[in-house]
Amino acid sequence: MDAPQPAIFIDGKAVAARLRAEVAAAAMSLRARGVAATLAVVLVGDDPASAVYVRNKTRAAREASVDVRDHKLPATTTQAELAALIDQLNRDPVVDGILVQLPLPAPLDAEAVIAALDPAKDVDGLHPTSLGLLARGRPSFVPCTPSGCMRLLGEVGAELAGARAVVIGRSLLVGKPIALLLGNANATVTMCHSRTRDLAGEVRRADVVIAAVGRPEMVRGDWIQPGAIVIDVGINRTADGVLVGDVEFAAAAQRARAITPVPGGVGPMTIACLLDNTVAAARRRRG
């Protein structure tokens, strides 16, 4: 028997850099016609991880020639104050996309805030209209992390039609929309979650595994079917301060045909896809 081929490590950093360069070119061509694609970023409270995400988004946007309007609000902001800001951004003709960084501090109701966004500016793809259109197979804005995962699958030429895809995690941000995207691409999709009876058994049958649970290395390497493609959305910090994914990487890489590393896999794609959505919003609204 032939020795197994080493797994391809899917280089999300490189794919994201390429996408950001495409976005920058599109943003520059809008600028040449007098349109500055503009993203409003709303950050409430002082969650340190959210502050880092927002800083990274702002930097990447500016590098891609996308203007950013930062709105930093204190954790004491009321629902009514936040609603008033969303209303103002919805009406502002200069703002193409609105990103409300999640999670919002308690007791703010994120559902209500997202539902108040103008769907034409919902570059995060989380508004009920965006998710409804995605469910109907006519997506407008696709949520950024799932969109990044699909691009990485495309990068390694994944044959999705007829493939068995297992999605672990059913969050609104990742699990649910990626299950819809995979279904729209004609995969046979199984959604797994904390109540799944035999997670190992489900993963063992999968040609494509998407892990998005946020639990360090919970997907064991020996669950991976030889030749499967593994996309690891998890970014978890261990007690020793090391970043690991939701998949036991080294062992899984012994069996997978292709796998995303953590960090440097899915992570960099999210921001690139957000900028792509923002320039698409600018083009649709003002192009």
Contact set with ligand GUN (CB under 6 A): 99-102, 124, 144-145, 173, 270
Instruction: For the CB of residue 99, give the shortest distance to ligand GUN in the complex, in Å.
Output: 5
| C-alpha–C-alpha distance, residues 132 and 126, integer Å | 10
3-state SS assignment for residue 258: strand
Task: For the beta carbon of residue 85, count every other beta carbon within 10 angstroms.
Answer: 19
Instruction: For the CB of residue 250, give the shortest distance to ligand GUN in the complex, in Å.
Output: 26
Q: How many CA atoms lie within 13 A of 17 on its CB side?
A: 5
Q: Which is nearer to ligand GUN, 97 or 221 (CB)?
A: 97
Q: Which candidate in 67, 96, 101, 232 is catalytic?
A: 101
Q: Which is nearer to ligand GUN, 173 or 189 (CB)?
A: 173
Q: Which is nearer to ligand GUN, 225 or 277 (CB)?
A: 277
Instruction: For the CB of residue 113, give the shortest distance to ligand GUN in the complex, in Å.
Output: 10
Distances (CA, A) of 27 to 54, 55, 69, 174: 20, 20, 16, 27
Q: Which is nearer to ligand GUN, 7 or 68 (CB)?
A: 68
Instruction: For the CB of residue 72, give the shortest distance to ligand GUN in the complex, in Å.
Output: 15
Which residue has its beta carbon closest to ligand GUN?
Answer: 102
Alpha helices in the chain (DSSP H): 12-32, 48-63, 79-91, 110-115, 128-135, 144-155, 175-184, 199-204, 249-253, 267-286
Q: What order do you get walking across the sheet with 38-44 strand by strand? A: 67-73, 38-44, 97-100
Q: Which candidate in 57, 207, 232, 276 is catalytic?
A: 57
Q: Is 101 a catalytic residue?
A: yes
Which value, in Å, is the radius of gyration of the alpha carbons in the chain? Answer: 19
Q: Is 124 a catalytic residue?
A: yes
Q: Is 225 a catalytic residue?
A: no
Instruction: For the CB of residue 173, give the shortest distance to ligand GUN in the complex, in Å.
Output: 6
Structure tokens at 267: 């992570």
Read off the amino acid at residue 172.
L
Please provide residue 194's backbone torsions phi and psi, each rounded to the nearest 5 degrees. Answer: -65, -20
Spatial contact of 67 and 61, defined as CB atoms under 8 Å apart? yes
| C-alpha–C-alpha distance, residues 178 and 210, integer Å | 9
Q: Which candidate in 124, 207, 246, 276 is catalytic?
A: 124
Q: Which is nearer to ligand GUN, 38 or 101 (CB)?
A: 101
Active-site positions read 57, 101, 124
